[in-house]
């Protein structure tokens, strides 16, 4: 695989992310803050937003599979993508439970592998989870302040 072929696939992935429903799903997922595997499971079946969760997680798992299989250069992927780390960081604390509940040990395995193959993969996940918690706390503080006013 040449760098040009890899770049072309990355641009195709980017183009897919621009589709209207996918944009809505990507916007929604950043407001989704699960606290358990049950939260994730219930949300996946929710008629209003379940498709969003399934769409975004399966999209990034598919993109990661292309990297893991060598169709996309891993270094180029990591230099041009970051959203997948945020998505994975939301489900990672519950991954063992989800895999057991679904009897699917391979669930999100491509996404996990593409991130954990980075030398700083585990650290990226931890920092992203901390960052997301900070944002949630700030948003909760802002909302509490607005409610009191």
Would you say the C-alpha torsion 56, 109, 99, 37 has a positive or negative sign? Answer: negative
pLDDT at 129: 95
- Residue 128 and residue 125: Cα distance in Å, rounded? 5
pLDDT at 126: 96
pTM of the model: 0.88
pLDDT at 149: 61
- What's the angle, vertex CA 82, arms to CA 7 and CA 143, rounded to 5? 145
pLDDT, mean of each 10-residue run, the chain (149 residues)? 89 92 94 95 96 97 97 94 95 97 97 96 96 85 67
pLDDT at 140: 75
For residue 12, how far is the Cα from the chain centroid?
18
Domain borders along the chain are 3-148
């Amino acid at each position: 695989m040449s760098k040009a072929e890899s770049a072309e696939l990355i641009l195709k992935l980017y183009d897919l992310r621009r589709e209207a429903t996918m944009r809505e799903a990507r916007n929604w997922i950043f407001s989704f803050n699960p606290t358990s595997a049950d939260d994730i499971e219930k949300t996946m079946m929710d008629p209003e937003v379940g498709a969003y969760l399934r769409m975004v997680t399966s999209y990034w798992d598919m993109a990661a599979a292309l990297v893991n299989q060598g169709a996309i250069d891993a270094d180029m992927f990591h230099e041009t993508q970051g959203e997948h780390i945020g998505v994975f960081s939301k489900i990672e604390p519950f991954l063992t439970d989800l895999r057991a509940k679904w009897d699917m040990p391979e669930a999100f395995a491509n996404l996990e592998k593409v991130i954990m193959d980075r030398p700083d993969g585990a650290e990226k996940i931890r920092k992203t989870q901390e960052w997301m918690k900070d944002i949630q706390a700030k948003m909760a503080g802002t909302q509490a302040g607005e409610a009191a006013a």
